[in-house]
Amino acid sequence: MNLWNFLVQNRLDMAQLALEHLWMVGISTLIAVAIGIPLGILISWRPVLRNPVIAAANVIQTIPSLALFGFLLPAPWIGERAGRLAILALTLYALLPLIRNTYAGIEGVDRAVVEAARGMGLTDWQLLLKVELPLASSVILAGIRVAIVISVGLATIAAAIGAGGLGELIFRGLAMVNNSVILAGAIPAALMALAADVLLGWLERRLAPQRA
Amino acid sequence: MDPSEAAVSFHDVSYHLPNGRQILKQLSFEVARGEVLVLLGRSGSGKTTALKLVNRLLEHSSGEVRVEGRSNREWDVIELRRHIGYAIQEVGLFPHYSVERNIAIVPTIQNWPAERIRGRVEELIRLVGLDCAVAGRYPHQLSGGQRQRVGVARALAADPPILLMDEPFGALDPLTRADLQREFAALQKSMKKTVLFVTHDLREALLLGTRIALLDEGRLVSLDAAGEFRRSSEPLAAKYMQAFWGTSDQGRGQQ
């Protein structure tokens, strides 16, 4: 059975798996953004926290994904559903690029601009919302882009704990020693990563600050 | 508020870095209302540090800095800064704001009505010698001189009675610098702000200053009216004069 026939015959199945995949990536990215960006801001305000926070995110990044899924299995509530488990694991992996880029983006804002803003009497919040975040937005978006591309790839492994997604075809294909089935999972996943990369890259360029 | 009282005053102010290095040593002086006090000194003399102590971008280690007769620690720091205009050499315009919005920053965060802000911005653009056509441009589309004009306009936006200026014209080419100095001197004649002006350029100090405070290694070595500076008996002041007039300087009676 060739790849094309497989795709046509299983199109409903395929759509379902692709949706599951998107769902896992989407939700985990949203949660990671909601945690990672505030953490990045926090460590730019409290430099003593910088090393511990970045080190923790780094350590998480070094745990092999299969092992991380295994570690999280006994967790209450989370461990009950494979989907939740996969989302938590993907969230954890997405944190590092988000924290690091938020921090780097804020630190990268021209010191003179920050000093002028403080000197004019902007409060810390006004400085953050009117100056630092807008000027860091393209760097933060670059972090989101990296996080999504990593997540799309990692989410294929979530199938190993039964969370579904396009990885299921890859594992099925591996078990059947059928390259067409593997490709039916791998190609759409790769296309998804590429599409996210192109789309966010375009947004990033639009948000890039004017040359000073 | 007593009009004769100093707008800004330093009383035995010292500042040292967390590592213990002392930057300012027991600095005392007063800035009278409406005068331009120039802080003159070479790099590392502490003049910029002294300036930043006024609006609490840095916090002094001992002594007292008074603004409008009140210790600046008693002021709410945000209110203090909005009471004091601030212009720096690097300008620090917001790159993502148009000229118009840059000038309007302080009025906007003070919630002025939109109509009043628009009027004030137009007035300021003309006041600092810019064309109204620049209002919609962004900082990267301006020349260095235009940027600094916008920086001065921004510092003046909410009409603060006190201005802190840290080598605002230092990065400009000599001709543009001379233009801006001349225009600022003329502007100051009508505005009568209390200005603390940092520079290492004696020519600028003599042109703009009412009085000149000479700093060296964190100490105040002399404080003279601008006209008296050239007759100062302080050796460092004489050195400045010598460097300014050239080594062939004659008849000034001291080295």
pLDDT category, A146, cuts 50, 70, 90? very high
Q: Supply the pLDDT for residue B219.
A: 93
Query: Which residues have CB under 8 Å from A160's CB, separation 6+?
Result: A66, A69, A167, A171
Q: Is B189 on the interface with A (CB under 8 A)?
A: no
Chain B from 142 to 181: CB within 8 A of any A CB: 151, 154-155, 164
> Coil, strand, or helix at residue B39?
strand
Q: Supply the pLDDT for residue B251.
A: 45
Q: Supply the pLDDT for residue A65.
A: 86
Using the predicted structure, report yes or no on whether residue A6 has a pLDDT greater than 90. no
Q: Is B92 on the interface with A (CB under 8 A)?
A: yes
Burial of B70 from C-beta contacts in 10 A (0-12 / 13-18 / 19+): exposed
CB-CB neighbors (< 8 A) of A108 in chain B = none
Whether residues A120 and B106 touch (CB distance < 8 A) is answered with yes
Tell how far CA B121 is from the center of its chain.
21
Nearest CA in chain A to B102: A117
Q: How far is A57 from chain B (nearest CA, A)?
A: 30
Q: Within 13 A of A96's CA, how many CA atoms are on the CB side? A: 16
pLDDT mean over A94-99? 95
Beta bridge partners of B39: B198, B213
pLDDT mean over B199-222? 93
Whether residues B164 and A119 touch (CB distance < 8 A) is answered with yes
Nearest CA in chain A to B108: A122
CB-CB neighbors (< 8 A) of B93 in chain A = 113, 116
CB pairs under 8 A between A and B: 67
In chain B, what percentage of residues exceed pLDDT 90?
Answer: 82
Whether residues A110 and B92 touch (CB distance < 8 A) is answered with yes
Which sign, positive or negative, has the C-alpha torsion B71, B75, B78, B84?
negative
Of A112, A130, A212, the CB nearest to B88: A112
Of A114, A119, A130, the CB nearest to B81: A119
Q: Token digits for B168?
A: 């605002």
User: Which of A115, A120, A125, A210 to substitute to test the interface with B, most B CBs within 10 Å?
Assistant: A120
Q: Is B2 on the interface with A (CB under 8 A)?
A: no
DSSP string, chain A: --HHHHHHHTHHHHHHHHHHHHHHHHHHHHHHHHHHHHHHHHHHH-GGGHHHHHHHHHHHHHS-HHHHHHHHTTSTTGGG-HHHHHHHHHHHHHHHHHHHHHHHHHHTS-HHHHHHHHHTT--HHHIIIIIIHHHHHHHHHHHHHHHHHHHHHHTTGGGGGT--STHHHHHHHHHHT-HHHHHHHHHHHHHHHHHHHHHHHHHHHHHSPPP-
Using the predicted structure, report yes or no on whether residue B252 has a pLDDT greater than 70. no
Nearest CA in chain B to A117: B92
Q: Token digits for B224?
A: 């003279």
Using the predicted structure, report yes or no on whether residue B218 has a pLDDT greater than 80. yes
Nearest CA in chain A to B84: A120
Using the predicted structure, report yes or no on whether residue A160 has a pLDDT greater than 60. yes
Which sign, positive or negative, has the C-alpha torsion B86, B91, B95, B100?
positive
* pTM (2 d.p.): 0.87
Whether residues B138 and A210 touch (CB distance < 8 A) is answered with yes
Whether residues A113 and B80 touch (CB distance < 8 A) is answered with no
Of the candidates B200, B198, B208, which has an alpha carbon nearest to the alpha carbon of residue B240? B200
CB-CB neighbors (< 8 A) of B154 in chain A = 120
Least reliable range by pLDDT among A76-90, A103-117, B172-186 = A76-90
Q: Is B95 on the interface with A (CB under 8 A)?
A: yes
Least reliable range by pLDDT among A1-5, A181-185, B116-120, B232-236 = A1-5
CB-CB neighbors (< 8 A) of A126 in chain B = 109
Q: How far is A127 from chain B (nearest CA, A)?
A: 11
Q: Supply the pLDDT for residue B4.
A: 60
Of the candidates B140, B113, B173, which has an alpha carbon nearest to the alpha carbon of residue A113? B140
Of A115, A122, A130, the CB nearest to B88: A115
User: Which of B81, B83, B88 to substitute to test the interface with A, most A CBs within 10 Å?
Assistant: B81
